[in-house]
Amino acid sequence: MKKRFTSGFSLIEVTLAIGIAAFCLITVFALIPVAVQTNRNATSQTTANNIIASVIADMRGTPSGVTPSAQFAINFPANATSPADPPPCSGTQTLYFDGQGQATTVIGANSRYRLIVTFVRNPTPTGATAPTYATLKASWPAAVDPCAVTPSGSIETFAAFDRN
């Protein structure tokens, strides 16, 4: 008489397989909050970059001698070669934007980004043909003053404008 062996898993093998799978799933689930936060930061930075790009495009598209700019009503300084730089955090103009990057009139419940435009002194002025320099700093959330408290996030860029 022949003995038949049936193949199968023992209870110990099944328990070990479930334990290994549980350990792997716990590790994957632990990464979800980090992934959500990274996605939120990337989205905020992308929106802030788009805001700064549209403001710079608006400022560059403003013809010489015309002030304020057409879309965001940014007033250019009369003299691009002012004798001193403005004090830190004293922006020439502050603009507010919602979560979609659309301009809002004042800080409010739907304002998510704050953009501070600061015109700086030209270190090497060459008379009437000197460019106008500006620092643009976008920070979020808009309710947080980036000069008083560290915001959740911010980006800053420097731009030169030919106003001749």
Q: Which amino acid is at 63?
A: P
Residue among 157, 133, 132, 142 nearest 53 (CA): 157
Is the whole model's pTM more than 0.75, yes or no? yes
Stated as kind and residue range, the H or E segment containing 158 is: strand 153-161
Q: Is the pLDDT of residue 19 over 70?
A: yes
* Mean pLDDT within 112-130: 79
pLDDT tens per residue across span 82-114: 545 556 566 678 999 998 888 887 777 788 999
Judge whether residue 17 has pLDDT over 90: yes
Q: Choose among 113, 111, 109: nearest CA to 146.
A: 113
- For the chain, give the mean pLDDT: 85
In the prediction, which pLDDT does 81 show? 47
Domain ranges of the chain: 31-161
Q: Which residue has the higher pLDDT, 22 or 70?
A: 22
Instruction: Write down the pLDDT at residue 113.
Output: 93
Stronger pLDDT, 152 or 8, i.e. the higher one = 152
Q: Strands across the sheet with 132-140, in order?
A: 103-104, 93-97, 113-120, 132-140, 153-161
Residue 79 is predicted with a pLDDT of: 57
Nearest CA among 45, 65, 66, 48 for reference residue 56: 48
Q: Give the residue ranges of DSSP H helices in 6-151.
A: 11-60
